Amino acid sequence: MGPLFLWKRIILEVGCGAGNTMFPLVATYPDVFVHACDFSPRAVDLVKMHKDFKETQISPFVCDLTVDDLNLQIPPSSVDIVTMERLTCKDQMISENFYVRGDGTRAFYFSNEFLASLFKDNGFNVKEIGLCCKQVENRSRELVMNRRWIQAVFCPSDAEDLSSSNHASTEVDLPSQENTESSISLKASKEPVEVDMSEGVAADMFGISSSVENEIIQVSLNEENLSIRVLSREYQHTCKSTGLMLWESAQLMASVLARNPNIVSGKKVLELGCGCGGICSMVAARSADLVVATDGDKKTLDLLMQNVASNIAPPFLDKLIVKSLEWGDRGHIEAIKEVNDKGFNIIIGTDVTYIPEAILPLFATARELISPNRGDEEDQASALILCHVFRRVDEPSILSAASRYGFRLVERWPAGISGNSSQGVVGSWFADSGIDKHSFSRALSIMYFQIE
Ligand SMILES: C[S@@+](CC[C@H](N)C(=O)[O-])C[C@H]1O[C@@H](n2cnc3c(N)ncnc32)[C@H](O)[C@@H]1O
Residue nearest atom 4 in ligand 1 by C-alpha distance: 275
Rounded Cα distance, 15 and 134, in Å:
22
pLDDT of residue 404: 97
Q: What is the mean pLDDT of the chain?
A: 79
From 249, 251, 295, mutation site for ligand 1 pocket: most ligand atoms within 8 A of C-beta = 295
Given the CA of residue 358, which atom of ligand 1 is nearest to it? 19
Residue 5: band (very low, low, confident or very high) from pLDDT cuts 50, 70, 90: very low
Cα 347 to ligand 1 centroid, rounded to whole Å: 14
Cα 183 to ligand 1 centroid, rounded to whole Å: 37
pLDDT of residue 1: 35
Rounded Cα distance, 80 and 84, in Å:
14
**84: Cβ contacts below 8 Å, ≥ 6 apart:** 13, 14, 15
Q: Is the CB of 295 under 6 A from ligand 1?
A: yes
**318-363 confidence digits (pLDDT tens):** 999 999 999 999 999 999 999 999 999 999 999 999 888 999 999 9
Closest CA to 102 of 247, 221, 268: 247
Quick one: average pLDDT of 289-316? 96
From 352, 354, 441, mutation site for ligand 1 pocket: most ligand atoms within 8 A of C-beta = 352
Cα 296 to ligand 1 centroid, rounded to whole Å: 7
Closest CA to 389 of 449, 349, 347, 423: 349
**164-205 confidence digits (pLDDT tens):** 444 333 333 333 333 333 322 333 334 433 333 334 443 444
> Which one is predicted more confidently, 224 or 284?
284
From 92, 105, 297, 329, mutation site for ligand 1 pocket: most ligand atoms within 8 A of C-beta = 297
Given the CA of residue 241, which atom of ligand 1 is nearest to it? 25
Q: Is the CB of 277 under 6 A from ligand 1?
A: yes
Q: Is the CB of 278 under 6 A from ligand 1?
A: no
Given the CA of residue 243, which atom of ligand 1 is nearest to it? 27
Q: Is the CB of 302 under 6 A from ligand 1?
A: no
pTM metric for this prediction: 0.59
Cα 134 to ligand 1 centroid, rounded to whole Å: 35
CA contacts within 13 A on the Cβ side of 112: 13
The share of the chain scoring above pLDDT 90, in percent, equals 39
From 40, 100, 242, 303, mutation site for ligand 1 pocket: most ligand atoms within 8 A of C-beta = 242
Q: Is the CB of 242 under 6 A from ligand 1?
A: yes
Task: Please state whether 36 falls in left (phi above 0), alpha (psi between -120 and 50) or beta.
Answer: beta
Is the per-residue pLDDT at 364 higher than 60? yes
Q: Is the CB of 236 under 6 A from ligand 1?
A: no
Rounded Cα distance, 289 and 340, in Å:
11
> Which one is predicted more confidently, 317 or 103?
317
Cα 358 to ligand 1 centroid, rounded to whole Å: 10
Rounded Cα distance, 281 and 242, in Å:
18
Given the CA of residue 249, which atom of ligand 1 is nearest to it? 8
**341: Cβ contacts below 8 Å, ≥ 6 apart:** none
pLDDT of residue 143: 57
Rounded Cα distance, 67 and 394, in Å:
15
Asked if 40 and 62 touch (Cβ cutoff 8 Å), the reply is yes
Given the CA of residue 387, which atom of ligand 1 is nearest to it? 8
Quick one: average pLDDT of 378-394? 82
Rounded Cα distance, 174 and 171, in Å:
10
